[in-house]
Structure 1
Amino acid sequence: MDDKLMLMIPGPTPVPEQVLLAMAKHPIGHRSGDFNKIMAEVTEGLKWLHQTQNDVLVLASSGTGAMEAGIINFLSPGDRVLVGNNGKFGERWGEVCEAYGLTVQAITAEWGKPLDPEQFRAALEADTNKEIRAVIITHSETSTGVLNDLEAINRHVKAHGQALMIVDAVTSLGAVNVPIDEWGLDVVASGSQKGYMLPPGLGFVSVSAKAWDAYKTAKLPRFYLDLGKYRKDAAKNSTPFTPPVNLFFGLQAALRIMKAEGLENIFARHQRQMQATRAAMRACDLPLFAPDEAASPAITAVMPQSVDAEQIRSAMRKRFDIALAGGQDHLKGKIFRVGHLGFVSDRDILTAIAALEATLQDLGHQTFTSGAGVAAAAKVLIG
């Protein structure tokens, strides 16, 4: 049946009908008073979502563009940075830093394991000359389903005093509690196609007063991604360059939906659906890739033993029109990933698990009892 695709991947994520309809409206002039009103509303909504009074700036970019902006606006060539690397995206931020001539010290962990905050503490305490200018962390590592302990790592950064805390919150913002002002996070980047319930195309960067002080002396090249330009225009409810106007219509609608649900309910829903998904995988005798204590509420990675991960993904897509994500780099073909962030309901979780059970049976995975996965998920969801 056509047009029944169900996205259960970490992005793009499903989009509410209200948001789709909002984006279907005729564009308006981005220098008009009507657009200024929308800009004012979404700016206020973004500050609410980010739990901050800092600037939250909107770019026409992916999450990678937001992170690149978050790095290059506050640093200078040769600056020393610590980069947490326990997955594809932590690895990427190290590559971005090296491309701009920064001196990178990687703090690593095996893919599927969380970063160790003590390694950051040791590196920061050893920096008696205060040469480390930034610590760059992926909060929710999308490639592995690991949630790193941002709060603990940030405490060590704050004790250092000099370094900026730069955070990739692309799959955690809108799914996990990220209290920017309470924790004193300096730069937090995210993207529209994740917890925001929008199509790809918008990047978001929250910037603290401490980061703006660093901006004054930062010397890395920037033009389109110069956040100072966005800050200046945002103060006038405008943008320095042409924005994707219809995505702003969608952002306005999505933020209204999120406000109606409330932050605590949003976080609780993601936690519940993560727990349901993980319980179902165990009941289906499918090993989980990330440990319980570091599991991301946005994405669950699974490493099947008796069935090929790509066979599972292919069969789910062909038979049930359900899209699951695959592994990246050396994990390609070894894991599959179930996205449960953004506009995902409890019904979606049960549907995906039921389809997965049927797929496993068809592929000859016989080490579980039929219906056990759905029952385990239902027990968590019903409470």
Structure 2
Amino acid sequence: MDDKLMLMIPGPTPVPEKALLRLGRHPIGHRSGDFSKVMAEVTENLKWLHQTQNDVLVLAASGTGAMEAGIINFLSAGDRVLVGCNGKFGDRWADVAKAYNLNVTTIEAEWGKPLDPEQFRQALEADANKEIKAVILTHSETSTGVLNDLETINRHVKAHGEALIIVDAVTSLGACNVPIDEWGLDVVASGSQKGYMIPPGLAFVSVSEKAWNAYKTSNLPRYYLDLGFYRKSAAKDTTPFTPPVNLFFALQATLQMMKAEGLDNIFARHDRLKRATREAVKALGLPLFGSDNCASSAVTAVAPVSVEAEKVRSMMKSKFDIALAGGQDHLKGKIFRIGHLGFVSDRDVVCAIGALEATLQALNADVTPGAGVTAAGRVLNAG
């Protein structure tokens, strides 16, 4: 049946009807007063979502563009940086930093395991000459479903005094608590196709005053991603370059929806869906990739043994029209990932788990009938 695809991947995520209808509106001039009104409301609500009074700047880019902007606007060639690497995206930020001739030291953990905050503490305390200019890390590592301990790592950065903290919050912003001002986070990047519940195309960067001070001396090359342009324009409720106007319409709608739901309820919903998914997967006899104590609220990674991961994904798509994500790099074919991020409800998780159970049965896996849905229901009914 056409048009029944169900996205259960960590991005792009499902888009609510209100946002889809806004996408279908006629565009307006991006230098018009009407667009400035949209921009003003969006900016105010982005600060609410980010829990900050800092600038929250909007780029026409992906999350990678936001992170690259976060790196190149506040650092200079030769600066020493620590980069946390325990998945695809941590590795990517190390590559970006090296591309701009930064002096990169990586702090690594095995994929599927969280970064060790103690290693950051030791490296930062050993930096007596304050040569480390930034710590760069991924909060929710999308490739593995692991949530890193940003709060503790950030405390060690703050104790250092000099270094900025630059955070990939692409799959954590809008899914779990990221209190930017309370924690004093300097640069936080995210993307529209995740917790924001709209299609890809917009990226967001929150910038602290400490980071803006570093901007004054940064010498890395930039133009389109020069955040100074965006700051000046945002102060006038406009953008420095042509924006995807209709994505702003959609974002206006989803931010209104998020405010109506409330931050605490948003975080509780994502936590509930995470726990329901993980308990269901366990009940189906499938090993989880990563432990419960570092599980992301956005995505659950599964490492099947009795069935092939790609066969599960293929049958879920062909038989039930449900899209699951695969593994990346050396995990390709070894894991599949279930997204439960953004515009996802209890019903969606129950449906996906039921389809997964039927898929496992079709692949001759040893499954207790009803075990997955029963386990998910137990969590969902408990609230």
TM-score class, shorter: over 0.9
The aligned counterpart of 1:135 is 135
C-alpha deviation, 1:291, in angstroms: 0.6
* Paired residue type of 1:380: V
For structure 1, list consecutive stretches of 5 or more residues without a partner in the other structure: none
The aligned counterpart of 2:362 is 362
Q: Distance in 2 between matches of 1:382 and 1:71?
A: 43
3-state SS of 2:282 partner = helix
The aligned counterpart of 1:17 is 17
* Paired residue type of 2:177: N
* Paired residue type of 2:234: A
Q: Distance in 1 between matches of 2:166 and 2:374?
A: 41
After superposition, give the CA deviation of every residue in 1:271-316 in whole Å (9 maximum; x if it has no partner). Answer: 0000000000000000000111100000000000000000000000
Q: Distance in 1 between matches of 2:259 and 2:24?
A: 22
Q: Distance in 1 between matches of 2:224 and 2:170?
A: 20
Q: Distance in 2 between matches of 1:381 and 1:114?
A: 27
Quote the sequence identity (%).
Answer: 77
Q: Distance in 2 between matches of 1:280 and 1:335?
A: 16
C-alpha deviation, 1:91, in angstroms: 0.2
Q: Distance in 2 between matches of 1:135 and 1:5?
A: 39
Q: Distance in 1 between matches of 2:248 and 2:329?
A: 34
RMSD: 0.3
Q: Distance in 2 between matches of 1:290 and 1:38?
A: 41
After superposition, give the CA deviation of every residue in 1:111-156 in whole Å (9 maximum; x if it has no partner). Answer: 0000000000000000000000000010000000000000000000
After superposition, give the CA deviation of every residue in 1:42-67 in whole Å (9 maximum; x if it has no partner). Answer: 00000000000000000000000000
TM value normalised by structure 2: 1.00
The alignment status of 1:343 with 2:365, answered yes or no, reads no
3-state SS of 1:197 partner = coil
Q: Distance in 1 between matches of 2:163 and 2:18?
A: 42
C-alpha deviation, 1:259, in angstroms: 0.3
Q: Distance in 2 between matches of 1:23 and 1:263?
A: 25
Q: Distance in 2 between matches of 1:80 and 1:358?
A: 51
After superposition, give the CA deviation of every residue in 1:168-207 in whole Å (9 maximum; x if it has no partner). Answer: 0000000010000000000000000000000000000000
Q: Distance in 2 between matches of 1:15 and 1:289?
A: 27
Q: How does 1:172-191 map to 2 (within 5 A)?
A: 172-191=172-191
The aligned counterpart of 1:43 is 43
Q: Distance in 2 between matches of 1:151 and 1:239?
A: 32
Q: Distance in 1 between matches of 2:249 and 2:10?
A: 23
Q: Distance in 1 between matches of 2:4 and 2:293?
A: 35
Q: Distance in 2 between matches of 1:329 and 1:215?
A: 34
Q: Distance in 2 between matches of 1:127 and 1:198?
A: 42
Q: Distance in 2 between matches of 1:73 and 1:119?
A: 26
After superposition, give the CA deviation of every residue in 1:191-241 in whole Å (9 maximum; x if it has no partner). Answer: 000000000000000000000000000000000000000000000000000
Runs of 4+ with deviation above 6 angstroms: none
* Paired residue type of 2:368: T
C-alpha deviation, 1:23, in angstroms: 1.1
3-state SS of 1:67 partner = helix
The aligned counterpart of 2:306 is 306
For structure 2, list consecutive stretches of 5 or more residues without a partner in the other structure: none
The aligned counterpart of 2:59 is 59
* Paired residue type of 1:195: G
Q: Distance in 2 between matches of 1:196 and 1:293?
A: 25
The aligned counterpart of 1:7 is 7
TM value normalised by structure 1: 1.00
3-state SS of 1:222 partner = coil
3-state SS of 1:144 partner = coil
* Paired residue type of 1:119: Q
Corresponding residue pairs, total: 382
The aligned counterpart of 2:221 is 221
* Paired residue type of 1:331: L
